[in-house]
Structure 1
Amino acid sequence: MLRWSAYAVLALAGSAAHAADPASVSFQHNDWELACDNTRTCRAAGYQPDDQDENPVSVLLTRHAGPNQPVYGEVQFGTYGDNAPDVPATVTLKINGRAASTIKRDKNRNFHLTSAQVAALLAVLNKTTTVEFVAGETTWTLSTKGASAVLLKMDEFQGRLNTPGALARKGTQPEDKVLPPLALPVIVAAAVPKALDKAALAALDRKAITAELRKAIKLEDCDELATIGSAENPLDIAPLSNGKLVVSATCWRAAYNTGSAFAVINAQAPYAPVIVTTLANDYADGVIGASQKGRGLGDCWSSEDWTWDGARFVHTHATWTGMCRLIAPGGAWDLPSLVTTVKAVPGQNAADKGK
């Protein structure tokens, strides 16, 4: 079975795969990409040209929803690998060969753009322009290919088209027509026991669970469907609350990723499995997690979480670290499509769980 890239998985997570989630968008064109989450915050990231691995660089532009919102900018210079050039504390921004301004590293070793620098970039990203960051003999080149389409998509998602604050298609529509931010969803996580007691574990009919689980999982989502419940692919079972259990087994293996099927079942037969996902690879304390590489080098990742609320696993987080462009081990940015606030049961703290 062909496994999708992490980017494709994340894009799906923001659309049809989680239709109950508030609207979000993931979009990519040439050397730029966009991720807008369910609060309507948008993040656009651009990179060096696709055919240029030397001196990787990325710019992140972040804008919250609502009228008259500013755009915040950051820069990351490639640190992946032993041959990455050292980045000094001061770098010069050049546009079409002319020095525009100086960017200074802050105490946390991050490069943040001033509002004037963001404005200078936005003024040229819709054009065929040379944008460079220079320090001594080293030059990092930012591609503008795809920026226009990405900024247009950002404006569209946030309802800014044809307003004075639009980034790609300005107009005279009033700013108060811009879509407002959406509230961050709050999920109350239910406490779960640490483990099943021996008697409950012994009472489980694993053959019946296996048979029901295989029927519930789609073959196209699970290469290892026929091996689920076998000695080489045993079931992992953990207690939830309210008479439910979570069961998992490996579903597929790829060159550098694996995925397991996770399902909620009844604690007694009939087990009636409800599939949560076939993309995850971790479970702990009421949270199912998925973490997948975009490619073997590990310079881009996707991750998702599902949190038990006492009745079901709620999709609580989905993010992507940006294109696989050798910016940094583990990826360049946090580009979420789904964000929530997860709270513990009132009066329940971590130390109380499982007691």
Structure 2
Amino acid sequence: MKTETWILTLAAAAILTPGVAAADSNSFKDWTVVCDNLRTCQVAGFSSDDGGLPAVLRLSRGGAAGAAAKVEIDLIDSEVDLGGKPPTLLVDDRVVMTARAKRSSEAGGVTVVLDDVQVGPLLGAARNGTLLTIRAGEKDVGQVSLAGMVAALRYADDQQRRAGTVTAMVAKGSAPAARVPAPPAAPVLHAAPAVAQTGLPSKPPAAVRALGRKAECDTEPGSQGEPQAWRLSDDKVLWQIPCGGGAYNFSGLFVVVDKAGRAALASLEGVEDGLATNADYDPKTRILTAYGKGRGIGDCGESSEWVWTGDAFALSQATVMPVCRGYGYDWPVVFRAEVR
């Protein structure tokens, strides 16, 4: 049985996807940046490691020249009470603006939302600051470290080819918006037709078990869970064989068997060995999903989706949270395709 935890490196998978612009990510002190293959960038700023009022500022911006930067700030504490008043944003104890807020069911707390016209003033005020504080009445309810913010925004400008233009967030110049190249179009994938899940075998055939042994999987029933089968088409069946794991990540080997009984590792774009972490297949959508936790609480790691096209599983979406900072929601997208 394999003892390693298998986690797909999704950023690398996106970069290796043929004909697709490379995606990228980077971190700068308390800030991280993830840009996808369409040059959409998502920037996140976190509380400092010793901060007692955790909050996450999320800035997203599309790759088009005229795309506006959107900013939301998640207050992680589910007990946060704003007292019915709009929160106040301060940089180093200097009031910058008030903003509107909404209850966030996903993050479990409150989300502060900036209007488009507020984003520029906030970033301008924060550029030379050290700490962004969210205050409700007289009480501080969240803080975001500004260490690394300028470098992160400059990096996003560079990834989006905005540096030196009037559209840049930090690396501004006099060049017009027309200088920003149009982002690439999303790859188009066509899902194979859905098929009835009838006539499925109850046990994996010998050829599947042989591939499991070759991959050092434990093929004994019940030791790591039961093998699963799904019908991909009239003449193809997909098998998942449990292949080891640890405390919170469990790998599965995916094998496709044809009508003649021939077995081959499933062709998962970006993956060479047919292994995926915490994975499952949905025959209704023809989507195979995988999710690898960077640590047990699930606040970092990678996830991916592949769509069955009739010949292979093509990567349709990948997300990544490259830093473990206590935020397990709304991971940035590093690759996306249009599925039809």
TM category, shorter: 0.7 to 0.9
Q: Quote the Cα distance in structure 1 between the aligned partners of 2:70 and 2:42.
A: 9
* Residue in structure 2 matched with residue 311 of structure 1 by the alignment: 311
* Residue in structure 2 matched with residue 92 of structure 1 by the alignment: 88
Shift of 1:289: 0.9
* Residue in structure 1 matched with residue 247 of structure 2 by the alignment: 255
Task: Tell me if the contact between 1:192 and 1:239 (Cα under 8 Å) persists in the aligned partners.
Answer: no
Q: Quote the Cα distance in structure 1 between the aligned partners of 2:190 and 2:156.
A: 31
Q: TM-score, normalised on structure 2?
A: 0.82
What does the per-residue CA deviation read over 1:271-294, in whole Å, with 9 as the maximum and x for residues that have no partner?
Answer: 233442422421121221112333
The 5 A counterparts of 1:1-355 are 3=5, 9-16=9-16, 18=17, 21-52=20-51, 54-79=52-77, 84-89=79-84, 90-106=86-102, 110-135=111-136, 136-197=138-199, 201=201, 206-215=205-214, 217=215, 225-228=216-219, 232=223, 235-241=227-233, 243-276=235-268, 277-280=274-277, 281-285=279-283, 286-300=286-300, 302-320=302-320, 323-327=323-327, 331-343=328-340
Q: Quote the Cα distance in structure 2 between the aligned partners of 1:159 and 1:292.
A: 31
Letter in 1 for 2:75: F
Q: Quote the Cα distance in structure 2 between the aligned partners of 1:340 and 1:71.
A: 22
Letter in 2 for 1:307: V
Letter in 2 for 1:159: R
Q: For residue 121 of structure 1, give the secondary structure of its aligned residue in structure 2.
A: helix
Q: Quote the Cα distance in structure 2 between the aligned partners of 1:42 and 1:169.
A: 15
Letter in 2 for 1:264: V
Shift of 1:139: 4.0
* Residue in structure 2 matched with residue 221 of structure 1 by the alignment: none
Letter in 2 for 1:26: S
Q: Quote the Cα distance in structure 2 between the aligned partners of 1:132 and 1:30.
A: 18
Shift of 1:113: 0.6
Deviates more, 1:21-30 or 1:143-152: 21-30
The verdict on how the C-alpha distance between 1:212 and 1:278 changes in structure 2, with shifts beyond 3 A counting, is: closer
Deviates more, 1:90-99 or 1:20-29: 20-29
Letter in 2 for 1:255: A
Identity of aligned residues (%): 27
Q: Quote the Cα distance in structure 2 between the aligned partners of 1:25 and 1:271.
A: 35
Structure 1 gaps of 5+ residues are: 218-224, 344-355
Letter in 1 for 2:229: I
Q: Quote the Cα distance in structure 2 between the aligned partners of 1:257 and 1:271.
A: 26
Letter in 1 for 2:317: H
Task: Tell me if the contact between 1:76 and 1:332 (Cα under 8 Å) persists in the aligned partners.
Answer: no
Q: Quote the Cα distance in structure 2 between the aligned partners of 1:291 and 1:3.
A: 12
Structure 2 gaps of 5+ residues are: 105-109, 269-273
What does the per-residue CA deviation read over 1:181-223, in whole Å, with 9 as the maximum and x for residues that have no partner?
Answer: 222333221123333516xx38x872222224554x5xxxxxx
Q: TM-score, normalised on structure 1?
A: 0.79
Letter in 2 for 1:332: Y
Task: Tell me if the contact between 2:4 and 2:245 (Cα under 8 Å) persists in the aligned partners.
Answer: no
Number of equivalent positions: 322
The verdict on how the C-alpha distance between 1:324 and 1:308 changes in structure 2, with shifts beyond 3 A counting, is: same
Task: Tell me if the contact between 1:242 and 1:310 (Cα under 8 Å) persists in the aligned partners.
Answer: no
